[in-house]
Structure 1
Amino acid sequence: MEKARSRLTTTPSLKKTPHLPKIVFNSRYLQAAPIGLLGLCGLGILVYLLKNIAPESIANIPIYRSYGPLVLTFLFTSTLVSGFVLLNIRRGFMVGISLTLILLLKLQKVQLSWPIILTIVVVVLIIEIAATYIRRVIKKT
């Protein structure tokens, strides 16, 4: 029978040196990169609309006081950016719809309070839970 090697005789240089933890890049973000890039393009268009175009000039484009180009650009941008961050376009669309609804109410000069915002969030969460449940039921059959 062999004797076990002594740990006392090893030199300190042979011991493992501490390493920084490796950053693992999630490949799903790489797959969703085109969505993120489209979201960044939408952010650029949104910034251009806010900085260079007067709100009065786009306020009545499709319907009176609807701010159509601004609202549609905001919906497009918030959907794509939140879809990229959440890695789920359906959930990103739900976040985009809720944020756009809050923006639209603010543009219509509705006094936003916590109950209104909470109602919007709860309705969106109920729709999301129902969509997830229906998807699971359909997947099982």
Structure 2
Amino acid sequence: MSAVDILICIMYALMILRWTRVFLTNIKSTWNYFKFIDKDTGLIGLLVYTAVFAILIFTCVMGINSVKHHVYHISMGFIIIGFAVLIKTGMLIFDGTLFDSTQMIAYQIVYVYGKITVGTIVLGILISFLLYTKIDKKV
């Protein structure tokens, strides 16, 4: 593995660590937040909350695996950027004054994950750039 490959993997690992920390530190408060709605809606909300986390982690793990096998897909960086922009947009759309249960679930998810989207976008841009340079062996 080249130095750029190691740098890409480190950025993926940083993203995994940040998202895991946010997921684990907020899971109890998120469950408590969802419990106030009703049991079924709370369970669905927790599943969606976990799915958002799992999608990003899965994307990062696939990215690390691709780099390990010297297969460089710039789309991995774009997926991460798009994902972060979507969550940040949701954070701007939803606010705490909404009391419909579906909107409360969406608000809690985008509020928790929305706090780390800027860093995710920056890492996604850096990963995309480095993957682009590796496609044609420019670095």
Q: Does the alignment reach a TM-score above 0.5?
A: no
More helix by share: 2
TM-score, normalised on structure 1?
Answer: 0.33
Higher relative contact order (CA 8 A, sep 6+): 2
Higher gyration radius (CA): 1
Q: How does the TM-score come out when normalised to structure 2?
A: 0.33
